[in-house]
Structure 1
Amino acid sequence: MAEVRVLALDFVGTLAGHGPAPDGRLTAKVLGALPGTVIPDDFPARFDDVTHRLRDSGRSRGVRGTFAARLRRAAQDCGAAVPDLRLAMDAVFTALPDARIDPEAASALRSLHATGLRCVLASNTDRPERVRLQTLRDSNIADCFDALVLSGTLGIRKPDPRFYAAVAEAAACPPGNILFVGDNPENDAVGPHAYGMPAVHVTAGPRPVGLPAAIATISHLRELAAHLNDPRGKPS
């Protein structure tokens, strides 16, 4: 078994709860204050409709539409002018609170990092890196991370193998030395395992059906240290 040198940690469901998602009303309010942006009165309804349609179609295909895609589609549908998409996204997610980090998970992470394990945040998120980094600072765990690999910045989402390649590059070590930890069976367990990374699935419920035997499960991040110290439970 390769030595675990780096933890690749998911965010929502692993370190934090679920944060609020931007709806049409908030998005219109924020964008309306940006220079050069023109937001018609029907934009909020159009944005919410696009969100529901893309969510339903994405669920059937096993993918999730990005905020940028929803914003572009809604703007096209109602004739809105959004000249700087990156500025618009930054403004919306600055106005919208991020998910709250679980204090017990933060404490567990600090203890794990103190043992010498390096950490990479590996998250599917529309939030800009600046916003997510501030969330980590607010919980005093930003210094635990050597790098942040975020789908919104990378332009690739888990479980695309290129996402795990980016994690390995950010970690600067082989995939076999990176332990991927997260709550989504496909994105955080099966996907990285197929790429060559050992993985631990975080779930408060029963073990998912079909999860490869090599992937262990824990109910909370606080259990990871004991799992790593147990020769029977170490990932292989």
Structure 2
Amino acid sequence: MTRSACPLSGWTVSLDLWGTLITHGDRQAASAWRITEFGRVLDAYGHHLAPEELSKTVRRTREEAAHQQRTTVAQPDVEAQVGAVLDELAIDRDAADLMKLLITVHTHAVLRACPQPIPGAVAALAAIKAAGGRLVLTSNTLATPSDVHRILLSDLGLLDCFDDVLFSGDLGVAKPRPEVFAAVAERAESPLDRVIHVGDDQLTDIDGAQGAGCHAVHYNPHRRPARPLVPDFADHAELPALLVSLCTAPAAELISRSASHE
């Protein structure tokens, strides 16, 4: 196959997961299941809590962990997240069996949300791959560690679409830290300026990628105001052609797009 038939050859296309490739699903169902199962486990260990108290504590600690990740770019440890719940409830976190059960509940709750691929995403991945692009999944994690993400991706038929998968929980840092995007390039044995990251979040995906020296494409399904000169798309059917257009553009044009962010 000729290079013209593989216009993305030599390029690494990094894609965000949540909100870009898959939906968040029924978050309320996942939250309700987590809280109910937390209650059952704690009750079995002799900690009888009012459902309202447990619900408030679990929700608050999750919100605080998410805020910490987004504002400090630190990667919260799953055990620390569960430990924070126990600390607020004044329950000893040193009981190993209790912690193990609660961590399992905490990390698997997302499966109850039943997330699904965003329409057109699977076809877009196949088209990018057919055009010669190296596909990398680059996702922040919070309550859901990489092993559970892999279960979910496998169930959705997405895991085998990627040449590599990177999760912030494994890296120890989260987007928009430049180390995340540097890891994408390093593992692909590619320079940063041959990496295009696709995502829906202005801070973690767009600013993060451009700040690290990569190119960025914004998944913008609602056509909200976007960063100047950052290409965006609202329908995944648009993405393969958009990437080909960017990757075959003159180098000076790509450089000017990146420089506009600095």
TM-score interval, normalised by the smaller of the two chains: 0.7 to 0.9
Q: Which residue of 1 aligns with 2:242?
A: 227
- TM-score normalised by the chain length of structure 2: 0.72
**Matched-pair contact (CA < 8 Å) for 2:13–2:198:** yes
Is the counterpart of residue 201 in structure 1 residue 221 in structure 2? no
Q: CA deviation at 1:177?
A: 1.3
Q: Which residue of 1 aligns with 2:37?
A: 29
Q: CA deviation at 1:102?
A: 2.0
Is the counterpart of residue 143 in structure 1 residue 175 in structure 2? no
Give the distance between the partners of 1:60 and 1:178, measured in 2 at CA.
23
- Return closer, same or farther for 1:161/1:6 CA change in 2, 3 Å cut-off: same
User: What secondary structure, in the 3-state scheme, does the structure 1 residue paired with 2:166 have?
Assistant: strand
**Matched-pair contact (CA < 8 Å) for 1:10–1:188:** yes
- The structure carrying a bigger helix percent of its residues is 2
Is the counterpart of residue 192 in structure 1 residue 209 in structure 2? yes
Which structure 2 segments of 5+ residues have no match? Answer: 1-7, 255-262
User: What secondary structure, in the 3-state scheme, does the structure 2 residue paired with 1:136 have?
Assistant: helix
- Return closer, same or farther for 1:86/1:119 CA change in 2, 3 Å cut-off: farther
**Matched-pair contact (CA < 8 Å) for 1:118–1:144:** no
Q: CA deviation at 1:63?
A: 6.2
Give the distance between the partners of 2:71 and 2:199, measured in 1 at CA.
22
Give the distance between the partners of 1:153 and 1:232, measured in 2 at CA.
30
Q: Which residue of 1 aligns with 2:257?
A: none
Give the distance between the partners of 1:145 and 1:204, measured in 2 at CA.
23
Q: CA deviation at 1:221?
A: 2.6
Q: CA deviation at 1:92?
A: 2.8
Over the residues paired in the alignment, what is the CA RMSD in angstroms?
3.5
Q: CA deviation at 1:66?
A: 4.4
Which structure 1 segments of 5+ residues have no match? Answer: none
**Matched-pair contact (CA < 8 Å) for 2:218–2:232:** yes
Q: CA deviation at 1:50?
A: 3.1
Deviates more, 1:82-91 or 1:197-206: 82-91
Q: Which residue of 2 aligns with 1:92?
A: 106
Give the distance between the partners of 1:27 and 1:227, measured in 2 at CA.
43
Q: Which residue of 1 aligns with 2:84?
A: 73
**Matched-pair contact (CA < 8 Å) for 1:7–1:119:** yes
Is the counterpart of residue 49 in structure 1 residue 56 in structure 2? no
Q: CA deviation at 1:205?
A: 2.9
**Matched-pair contact (CA < 8 Å) for 1:203–1:218:** yes
- TM-score normalised by the chain length of structure 1: 0.79
User: What secondary structure, in the 3-state scheme, does the structure 1 residue paired with 2:91 have?
Assistant: coil
What one-letter code is carried by the residue in structure 2 that aligns with 1:107? A
Give the distance between the partners of 1:31 and 1:172, measured in 2 at CA.
47
- Return closer, same or farther for 1:91/1:25 CA change in 2, 3 Å cut-off: closer
Give the distance between the partners of 1:6 and 1:136, measured in 2 at CA.
20
Q: CA offsets per residue over residues 151-208 of structure 1, 9 Å max, x none? A: 2222211111122122223323221111100111121112111211111111023353
The one of 133, 136, 145 aligned to 2:150 = 133
Give the distance between the partners of 1:207 and 1:233, measured in 2 at CA.
27
The one of 11, 14, 20 aligned to 1:14 = 20
Give the distance between the partners of 1:139 and 1:57, measured in 2 at CA.
28
Give the distance between the partners of 1:109 and 1:133, measured in 2 at CA.
17
